[in-house]
Amino acid sequence: MAQLTLTFPYRSPPGLRKAKDLDDIPLYPLLNIKLYTERHKPINFEGLLDSGADGLFLPKQIAEGLGLPKIKRIKTSGILKSAMCY
């Protein structure tokens, strides 16, 4: 089987892309993601490629658009902040 090599551009998080001082902004490997549902237009967003992640996190609007149920409320943290999630 041939080995496939993929490269991903490193970019600043969306909330920091308009910052004036670009020298101190962290860069992350971000993927362009497109999700499809049967009834709606495709949903486009960026995702962090994190090989050390303990879980998968989706923005609330994406989860609602896909009709995913809320299961358990937990505290989590990610790029730049922490929050309560489901």
Q: pLDDT tens across 2-55, in order? A: 888 888 888 888 778 887 776 778 888 888 888 887 777 888 888 888 877 777
CA angle, 67 then 79 then 41, to 5°: 30
Domain layout of the chain by residue ranges: 25-85
The DSSP code for 36 is -
Question: How high is the pLDDT of residue 16?
Answer: 81
In this structure, the number of other CB atoms found within 10 A of the CB of residue 30 comes to: 19
Query: Contact, 57 vs 72, CB < 8 A?
Result: no
CA angle, 6 then 28 then 17, to 5°: 125
Q: Which two tokens stand for residue 8?
A: 């991903």
The pLDDT-based confidence of 79 (bands split at 50, 70, 90) is low
